Chain A
């Protein structure tokens, strides 16, 4: 899957809406977003996928339809409203129609997050009849060459067809484009393509480095100058085009001085149920040490959200260390991303190294330097596929992951 459903960005959007909405209030005790990562199987092999590199372990023990329906019911009872059906490629399961019908019955606002592969007239009609609210389609570039290269598949023409199908069925067109070195120079053309396809929303999501994208970080990262230019073009396009198409530009954290308020806080508004039933407060939480994540096969979501040690571990700020603990800005970012702190520094309670106040900020500076080092940056991309996942599990690609404190 793409980073389309990266909770951090959607939650940020929600918070923005809250802040400038009509006297909205923030709840700290209920999940609002449920992300159902229904499978890790995927026909695409994107270099920037944030799924765990050892996903191959979790493709044989997926939850059943009944288990998904139970999870949907339990999360809805806790207050969850927005449902993302994601993966992998969710359309590889043949029960998405049943999940959609149940979601509608329960009152979710449901979103299918897809590469488009496997979306047929028959299936989209069934989703429409079942009450699916919208479909978010990943696009990669305006050129067939880059689309096919970065996804390691020939899917360019198919995506255009699927976009038309989504539009014809009266769905809002929500496009997600993950931005990296290979497409960042085409920002204007990408925006024009989205406009021509009749998109209502487009998310330009700068790659965040988790999972496969962390392994391929030096190969994917654009320069600061490229990002600034991309943002300038985006703003220019917004001004010219008005409010017809909403354009979100997700700023990459490596190039800012302060970390993101990851997931809007650990266990605050976001809950993910993964393909095998593990319940996580964020996409990559499994990399963290000394936490046992509950599984819906053993525990109800009410206990998971309210009482499990995992979901309570980084709530509030009592776990923080210096310099975060006494930092005047700690409420703004809650010390950033726990996974990034652990993966890059080995300290899960430390400041996110993205922060310029972090004693480990040099790891970010070094990563940016490495991405500009022609020798390092020319190492081959490791595409997300079963063969590479098996190789990583077997330790065959250690050279590419040894600098990280857990397997990405």
Chain B
């Protein structure tokens, strides 16, 4: 699916997103499975809260990582993958 910059997402029902100190990464937990997220993916999903729009997320990440190029495409790509994996649900 292709997403719009005004879309708002939240972590899918029955899924839990959390920071794991022992693994030093963010994880998504769900029935029968778990995924450890790499740094970038974790940072994106950490801002998915059912309130921020895709634009809000991109802006915040740009502020946090001013040297990172092409954030827009990366964030959208990451969110699309997360939706395909059913880790997210759309709010609006």
Interface of B is mostly: mixed
Which A residue's beta carbon lies closest to that of B18?
Answer: A107
Are A10 and B38 in contact, CB atoms less than 8 angstroms apart?
no
Instruction: Report B1-29 CB contacts with A as 1/0, cut-off 8 Å.
Output: 00000000000011010101011010101
Stretch of A49-57, A74-82, A309-317, A344-352 lying at the B interface:
A74-82
With a CB–CB cut-off of 8 A, which chain A residues contact B34?
Answer: 14, 17, 32, 81-82, 109
Residues B68-92 near A (CB distance < 8 A): 78, 81-82, 85-86
Give the Cβ gap from B37 to chain A, nearest Cβ, in Å. 6
Which B residue's beta carbon lies closest to that of A79?
Answer: B22
Given that A23-B41, A133-B14, A243-B86 are contacting pairs, would A81 and B20 also be in contact in the complex, using a CB cutoff of 8 Å? yes
| Residues of B near any A CB (own CB < 8 A) | 13-14, 16, 18, 20, 22-23, 25, 27, 29-38, 41, 78, 81-82, 85-86
- Interchain CA distance A317-B18 in the complex, whole Å: 34
Are A22 and B32 in contact, CB atoms less than 8 angstroms apart?
no
With a CB–CB cut-off of 8 A, which chain B residues contact A107?
Answer: 18
With a CB–CB cut-off of 8 A, which chain B residues contact A13?
Answer: 32-33
A143 interface residue (CB < 8 Å to B): no
Are B35 and A81 in contact, CB atoms less than 8 angstroms apart?
no
Are B16 and A133 in contact, CB atoms less than 8 angstroms apart?
yes
Given that A21-B35, A134-B14 are contacting pairs, would A78 and B22 also be in contact in the complex, using a CB cutoff of 8 Å? yes
With a CB–CB cut-off of 8 A, which chain B residues contact A326?
Answer: none
Are B85 and A21 in contact, CB atoms less than 8 angstroms apart?
yes
With a CB–CB cut-off of 8 A, which chain A residues contact B85?
Answer: 21
Are A30 and B22 in contact, CB atoms less than 8 angstroms apart?
yes
With a CB–CB cut-off of 8 A, which chain A residues contact B18?
Answer: 107
- Interchain CA distance A265-B89 in the complex, whole Å: 34
- Interchain CA distance A21-B18 in the complex, whole Å: 16
A200 interface residue (CB < 8 Å to B): yes
Instruction: Report A181-219 CB contacts with B as 1/0, cut-off 8 Å.
Output: 000000000000000000011010000000000000000
Give the Cβ gap from A1 to chain B, nearest Cβ, in Å. 16
Give the Cβ gap from B25 to chain A, nearest Cβ, in Å. 8
With a CB–CB cut-off of 8 A, which chain B residues contact A109?
Answer: 16, 29-30, 34
Are B31 and A79 in contact, CB atoms less than 8 angstroms apart?
no
Contact residues on A (Cβ < 8 Å of other chain), bracket: 20 to 34
Among B23, B29, B38, B86, point to the contact of A30 (Cβ < 8 A).
B23
Are A79 and B35 in contact, CB atoms less than 8 angstroms apart?
no
Residues A1-49 near B (CB distance < 8 A): 10, 13-14, 17-18, 21-25, 27, 30, 32
- Interchain CA distance A18-B25 in the complex, whole Å: 14
Are B81 and A79 in contact, CB atoms less than 8 angstroms apart?
no
Are B36 and A18 in contact, CB atoms less than 8 angstroms apart?
yes
Give the Cβ gap from A25 to chain B, nearest Cβ, in Å. 6
Give the Cβ gap from A86 to chain B, nearest Cβ, in Å. 13
With a CB–CB cut-off of 8 A, which chain A residues contact B16?
Answer: 109, 133
Among B33, B38, B41, B78, point to the contact of A14 (Cβ < 8 A).
B33
- Interchain CA distance A109-B14 in the complex, whole Å: 10
Which B residue's beta carbon lies closest to that of A10?
Answer: B32
A340 interface residue (CB < 8 Å to B): no
Among B30, B32, B35, B81, point to the contact of A248 (Cβ < 8 A).
B32
- Interchain CA distance A171-B36 in the complex, whole Å: 23
